[in-house]
Structure 1
């Protein structure tokens, strides 16, 4: 009666989970496509964390497209219309700095004019007088101050054609089209909206070339890849399992029974993980779908026991099955202690899925009708001879040599901190982004200088003082580009100095200019009056304007400590350039930060931490199994621990061991424990050996297929599991060896 009540309670819980899942799937933000969700909270200082957030946020919302091919101007206008129709376009005129800075032309002076003699100023003014409306320019801007400033500070490689920014490179005209999104670039709806706009454009302009740059393109590529692999790898795994189980059991009812725990495990894991974490990462789902290789183990052991052993499963069988669940959960749940939220989510998903599968087997499947077929007993009979006979010493010698070689290889292993394991973007997209940044001479945002000062104006002056060394690095080719707020927002002291210089130039050059041009004297007085009344450009005015949005992203402002902070965004730098930047940042008010290098160092620390937790998991499992199995503990430990050592030895020969290799080893440990425990509990049982073999094969189908994933993290995890599970199965005959007495 007690078990029947629990079975109904389990059914009610699954029904509640189904209703919860339906409500969650209605929320567009339920799925999280961020690969960065795998990363831990930063251990950097508060200022660096704020700088990373602000710089990252500025790059997150924007994207840039370069349009080439035949008729690029017309194509770019069409693309702009498609994006604006989808609410993703960005009006080019809204961000024109000439409109924002027109009133402050007397506070801005290009380096070219600042260093020019009076004669050069006069010649420039005479040339401007020959232009249409030249007499008006004498009053408004006789020397073309604003034009000179804008050309030096803003244009870079871009030139306006038909109102669109363009650049020329290797005989190809490229037209820049920029866009902006209001929501997160990781939202599937936003990604699909942008993709639909681009597809409509490509259909209309099939010969147009597009270069893409922006986080949303990388997020969309990662999401599409995760969805693709979820369907292809998950489907391949499922079909492989169905074929395997059909060959052994030959009954449709048996296949249905084996799949029920998988479905129930996923039904429990998915909504509860979403409830605990707020969202479910698509990588978690790809990883979670592969737990079917373990979830089916419990049903396999029950099926083989009921079909090949005359009596019903007894206390010893359920004890072994429970011990297998507990030990596997220990291996998984150790990951909850890691500082990586993505791994904690995966661990939680896997643990809930396995618990759901185990409860389904214990409460439901044990009471369902049994369907048998002679093929099952025949398969068990063919596998039965695969165990070591009494007196066979050479296999043990070979195993000892292999383990010794593995230990030697492991002693030389190195941890890989390559960011490749976190970058699922296709190489073509990465190349396009780099090409766009190179053509536009834009800093990539991965490295910067953090500058501090006591007040707002002191901060602007400190930024201005960095121009000379940074321009020198840029001129020597050691630094590709740099930018900071003071490039477009001079300090008040510099603006006042500019106005003093302009008064001198006006007094010297305007009379000669008026005499040479024959213009009335009143225009000269009006020009001098306009200069005297010129306002100064205040930081708030520029940073809050649309044209100053890019500089606002580099301006952190006043902190709680009272200090003022700003960023200098840096482009690609050579090793000599990096050394020069680090030397420049030796000053107390400067800090050089390379986000990629910092992330690599963080991954290396996490890999060492994961290795430590792997050792902790092993120690806990050894204590648990020695306490539970006494003298037979070696049988349970040999398959998982031997597989971990041999896999580590193989991986160390192929290169560095990364974070996801170590995660795979944790999974190998958990999966191998089931095989080891049943080998210890039932070393002579043909049913247990068949179930263990099917378990290893099904787990290799599920996890091993991840080795073919194009997502580096899942590829490394899958390769590790493929090797580890093969070694696990090969070591089970040693654990079942005859002549190594076991206790009952």
Structure 2
């Protein structure tokens, strides 16, 4: 088949990929944002998955705002109305289920009231009698059992002022605005609505102080930060690349041609990877962006070769470019045999992208009419002297010392750090606000919890009740900021019957004394006793299916396939001592402690360790391949990639550790370093190769190295690795091109 026919065939393949991609993007489930989807299925416990799913649905859409200032109640009403007008729900979080629980009050007895003596009960009833409607309330609930229960469960410190929940902390009064989003917190439209509403509120109420809690605030902050960095770092990178390529090539058409392989590589990789794996994880897309630097590398080598050496490069050039592709593919494809679905998907994406870029360079760009500008030759002449002089020893001694130091640091100090908390891009102020809100309202975050199981519904509620004293102790000592479980609002039937027996004894002892002290008729005693005897018990099913029990329903996992019943104890922040107690509670067979952040960090660690191990295996294979190809000159091909990786690891060992995004950066460094090394070994005296290598390193530094200045941790780690690694790659190429140690010549 002729080159022309192959070029048209490649165009047809890309058109088919474009059509496939369009159809895939219309599928709602094409993109996957779950990190757990990148892990082996055996690592994902189904019960934990169910709990994570229910908690995510329950907590992701909620938000809470505390307002303080000269008029917090009026400000809260204004903000509530503003959020409603914006199409966001803003209903009070603290709507207490008074009416829903009224009929079941006699089975609900607060700990404080149970511990009180008879005189305290009597005093409480007489105090309630003085309130408006006191005589009617005396017949229904003479001792305020329901109010005491709700106050203990839903926060006695919250009081209603003009229908707005308020919280008094010292001299400061906070009004509470809360609700549930009508849209996803990750949707840009929802974020923009909330951000605009809060901005308008700040403009109209400049003296109001706001404390925010909710996933949407973190998502909006991350999106705003990304937009700022796109307009600053992105613009700087784009301008830098345009200036760099313009200074060297001076042709707009050439600048556009350099991007064609990148676009074609992504066009091949996106739909085919999605087709193979049934979708695409966003982390894979982040990883796949790293192929851009290598894809541009192919085009740069071709352009420099055509302008400085020959309009139609010969077999030697294409064999070097093909070897560069194959060696980089080995680094990626070796990960296809790992047990990690995430690594296999990433490797497939990168391999397809690089293959698409290489084929585009070979079949299209090589046939494109050449337009030469003298600036290219001048640029090559400027950097041509940047090579080691024959006979110089001190640069080699310095290089050996640096490599030995990097090796010692890597072996002695390098460690993995895949903590998810380290990757949290949220501003410190927003994190502090959320912690203050959760602490003030005693709200669990949903990021850590206990899974409790039992043989049946009532056994499950009883087991939760037995855990309560230990959790309450942690709460009272400040070792735990908050906790919540269904049995706090839904006592077991055993506990309800016990409460009713105690209430009956209290009624029989205290109602005559209350009537005598208050002068109320005796018939009210009979009505109160009759109401106690006739009251129903609170059952799980009606409570969990009611609007008042919606929060508990999110913590109720129900009956499992093996017949056990499971519920969640949602926990707030815990101190180190609190973590120890929680771990001790989880030593029981029917209790499991799960920290979602720690678990995801561990999963990322496994992903990073697996990637590092298979990357090391790929390096060994590459060393054997390049040793076979170049024999005595193999050191030229290996020095830029392996030396740069080693020096970068040595520098990173002085930081907090190496994580997943550092490894993604190292793969980019390895790929560009391999191309640089192969062309240095193939054509050590070629000015075209040296110019292409320099442009490749410089362009990748501008595209990825600037990310080192990003405030987003993941991008910062990726950028820092590229900044160091690509700088080292370029600095090592003169050693690989040196005449002094070329024993093969």
TM-score after normalising by structure 2: 0.92
Q: What residue number does 2:150 align with? A: 150
Shift of 1:444: 2.5
Give the Cα–Cα distance (whole angstroms) in 1 for the partners of residues 717 and 282 of structure 2: 17
Q: Work out the CA distance in 2 between the residues paired with 1:450 and 1:473.
A: 18
Summarize the Cα distance change of 1:261–1:89 in structure 2 as closer, same or farther, 3 Å threshold: same
Alignment match, 2:478? 477
Change (3 A) 1:585 1:311: closer
1:652 alignment counterpart: 653
Paired position in structure 2 for 1:600: 601
Deviation at 1:606, TM superposition (A): 3.3
Residues 60 and 185, structure 2, Cα contact 8 Å, conserved in 1: yes
Q: Distance in 1 between matches of 2:3 and 2:514?
A: 103
Measured after TM superposition, the shift of residue 68 of structure 1 is 2.3
Q: 1:335 to 1:713 in 2, by over 3 A?
A: farther
Which residue number in structure 2 is paired with residue 519 of structure 1? 520
Q: Within 5 A, what are the aligned runs for 1:336-347? A: 347=347
2:566 match: secondary structure: strand
Confirm or deny: 8 A CA contact 1:454 1:563 kept in the other structure: yes
Could you say which residue in structure 2 is the equivalent of 1:249?
249
1:388-419: per-residue Cα shift (whole Å, max 9, x none)? 34433332222222111111111112222332
Structure 1 CA distance, aligned partners of 2:78 and 2:39?
Answer: 39
CA distance in 1, matches of 2:426, 2:30: 22
Counterpart in 2 of 1:366? Answer: 366
1:239 alignment partner in structure 2: 239
- The whole-number CA distance in structure 1 between the counterparts of 2:128 and 2:275 is 68
Alignment of 1:585-624 (within 5 A): 585-624=586-625
Bigger mean CA offset, 594-603 vs 137-146? 594-603
How many angstroms apart in 2 are the aligned matches of 1:373 and 1:655? 47
Matches within 5 A, 1:408-419: 408-412=408-412, 413-419=414-420
Most deviating of 650-659 and 198-207: 198-207
Per-residue deviation, residues 87-130 of structure 1 (Å, max 9, x unmatched): 43143399431111011111111222222333332332233223
DSSP 3-state at the match of 1:653: coil
For the structure 1 residues 169 and 345, does the alpha-carbon distance in structure 2 shift closer, same or farther, using more than 3 Å as the test?
Answer: farther
- Is 1:680 the counterpart of 2:681? The answer is yes
SS in 2 for 1:591: strand
Q: Distance in 2 between matches of 1:326 and 1:201?
A: 58
Task: Name the SS for the 2:738 alignment partner.
Answer: coil
Structure 2 Cα separation of the partners of residues 339 and 707 of structure 1: 31
- Partner residue in 2 for 1:564: 565
Instruction: Please give the secondary structure, in 2, of the residue aligned with 1:466.
Output: helix
C-alpha contact (below 8 Å) 1:29/1:187 kept by paired residues:
no
Q: Report the more deviating stretch, 106-115 or 440-449.
A: 440-449
Q: Aligned partners of 2:91, 2:257: CA distance in 1, in Å?
A: 60
Identify if the C-alpha distance between structure 1 residues 376 and 461 changes in structure 2 by more than 3 Å, giving closer, same or farther.
Answer: same
8 A contact 1:34–1:186 mirrored in 2: no
Aligned residue for 1:118? 118
Q: Which shows bigger deviation, 71-80 or 83-92?
A: 83-92
Provide the C-alpha distance between the structure 1 equivalents of 2:30 and 2:271, rounded to a whole number of angstroms: 10
Would the alpha carbon gap of residues 385 and 348 (structure 1) be closer, same or farther in structure 2, given more than 3 Å must change? Answer: same
For the structure 1 residues 41 and 251, does the alpha-carbon distance in structure 2 shift closer, same or farther, using more than 3 Å as the test?
same
| Whole-angstrom distance in 1 between the partners of 2:280 and 2:720 | 24
Whether the 8 Å contact between 1:32 and 1:187 is mirrored in structure 2 is: no
Closer, same or farther in 2 for the Cα pair 1:294/1:539, shift >3 Å? same
Question: TM-score normalised to the size of structure 1?
Answer: 0.92
Residue aligning to 1:735:
736
Decide whether aligned partners of structure 1 residues 337 and 244 sit closer, same or farther in structure 2, where only a CA change above 3 A counts: farther
Residue in structure 2 matched with residue 697 of structure 1 by the alignment: 698
1:115-514 map, 5 Å: 115-230=115-230, 232-270=232-270, 291-310=291-310, 312-334=312-334, 347-412=347-412, 413-514=414-515
Change (3 A) 1:134 1:179: closer
Q: For residues 513-559 of structure 1, what are the alpha-carbon distances to aligned partners after superposition, in whole Å with 9 as ceiling and x for unaligned?
A: 23333333333222221111110000112222222222222222222
SS in 1 for 2:296: helix
CA distance in 2 between partners of 1:350 and 1:652 (Å): 27
Alpha carbons 2:186, 2:216 under 8 Å: kept: yes
* Structure 1 CA distance for aligned equivalents of residues 234 and 356 of structure 2: 19
User: 1: CA distance between counterparts of 2:76 and 2:30?
Assistant: 35
Find the counterpart in structure 2 of residue 719 from structure 1.
720
RMSD of aligned residue pairs (Cα, Å): 2.9
Determine the C-alpha separation between the residues in 1 that align with 2:224 and 2:678: 40
Name which of structure 1's ranges 92-101 and 527-536 shifts more when overlaid on structure 2: 92-101
Contact 1:70 1:207 (C-alpha < 8 Å) held by counterparts: yes
Whole-angstrom distance in 2 between the partners of 1:163 and 1:39? 48
